[in-house]
Amino acid sequence: MGAGRIRLGLIGCGGIVRSVHARAYLAASDAATVVAIADPDAEGRAAAATLLAVPADGSYENCEDMLAGVDLDAVCIATPHHLHRQHAVAAASAGVDIISEKPMSATLEEADAIIAAVRAAGVRYTVVHNLLWSNAMREGIRLARGEQFGDVTWGRAQSVFRKAEGLDARDWRATRSAGGGCAIDTAYHEIYCVEALVGSPVARVEGRVRTVKFDIDVDDLALMLLEHEDGSVSTVTSTWCAPSFGTEAGRWCEVHGTRSSVRVYHRDSDPLHVATAAGGWQATPLASADDPMGHIAFFGAAFAALRSGDALPVTMSDARRNLAIIEAAREATAARKAVEVGK
């Protein structure tokens, strides 16, 4: 792509773009500039255009018109899950590189269609696994590989939230047809985080993915037991229906070794904690507390890789495996037995 700034188009201008992604785009303005946006919601589109100073002639109702009307280097897809395949295939066919919000798609079949389109077009593709790029996660992974940690014994992650009463199909994340559900919308992050801390890909999954509270047609509770390729195990607990957070609030992940343990709180003023045999959990200072959810660092790395041709932050196989783990957990729920990932 060369050293020039990336001409970026946005497919989807919803809340995640305006409240989170926009900060990352503005922080990386020397590497990329948003020149066009596409979203059927005129109000959201106008808000994003103002926030990112998008030219008046760069606003479109759909991505097909944007891809045909503007010279772009890359797009960022941030639309409901079931639309990711349509939008990624359209972008690949237009010959532009792709940064997609997670998950890759709603199903593995759709993910494979994206992979085929990307390979056929010869474009580059990555998925936003932002939490891996927070300072706390990067330092936690480094500590878990060190001599003072010892051998990995097990890992654990949770995302415990309380959705508002009356959650129903008006929220696309709570509908099966839109690719929603607790497992794919929330536990998704915990899976790639605990896998990274353990340091070994997930090979088999046991799980119970269910609807236990809300009147929706998709899961609001996900419990997973993950067996990694190196034989270590980890658990993921995620729910939308906790009446209270308790003492282990919100979203975190941890890994335990024979000599010490590492825990990362993703939304905390002291996000990194370490425990040793000599004492309990102790907060560990970080060089910077900025960018706690990792979006700025992720997009910065993605833009740098697109410009240089270096490896992207998350590969297609990484993103597909995360989706395969979720599908395996759903299959394990029905079969009531462990399921091999991707089988």
pLDDT class of 249 with cuts at 50, 70, 90: low
Cα–Cα distance, 241 to 245 (Å, whole number): 10
Q: What's the pLDDT at 215?
A: 96
Q: What's the pLDDT at 279?
A: 83
Least confident of 61-65, 239-243, 244-248: 244-248
Q: How many CB atoms lie within 10 A of CB 227?
A: 18
CATH of 6-127, one of 3.90.950.10, 3.40.50.720, 3.30.460.10, 3.40.50.2300: 3.40.50.720
- Would you say residue 248 has pLDDT above 60? no
pLDDT class of 243 with cuts at 50, 70, 90: confident
Within the chain, all domains assigned CATH 3.30.360.10 are found at: 133-291+324-340
How confident is the model over 122-141, as a mean pLDDT? Answer: 97
Pairing, β 32-38 against β 6-11: parallel
Q: How many CB atoms lie within 10 A of CB 101?
A: 22
Q: What's the pLDDT at 2?
A: 58
CA angle at 227 for the pair 221 and 231, rounded to the nearest 5°: 160
Within the chain, all domains assigned CATH 3.40.50.720 are found at: 6-127
Q: What's the pLDDT at 81?
A: 98
> Which token pair is 139?
């330092």
Per-residue pLDDT tens over the stretch 170-190: 999 999 999 999 999 999 999
Cα–Cα distance, 240 to 220 (Å, whole number): 5
Per-residue pLDDT tens over the stretch 44-95: 999 999 999 999 999 999 999 999 999 999 999 999 999 999 999 999 999 9
Q: What's the pLDDT at 136?
A: 96
Could you tell me the pTM of the whole model?
0.96
- Tell me the CATH number for domain 133-291+324-340: 3.30.360.10
Task: Identify the sign of the CA torsion 310, 79, 83, 34.
Answer: negative
Q: What residues contact 155, with CB distance under 8 A and at least 6 apart? A: 194, 197, 198, 232, 233, 234, 235, 253, 254, 255, 256
**Amino acid identity, position 97:** D
**Amino acid identity, position 28:** A
Average pLDDT, the chain: 95
> Which token pair is 132?
């891996």
> Which token pair is 244?
């209270």
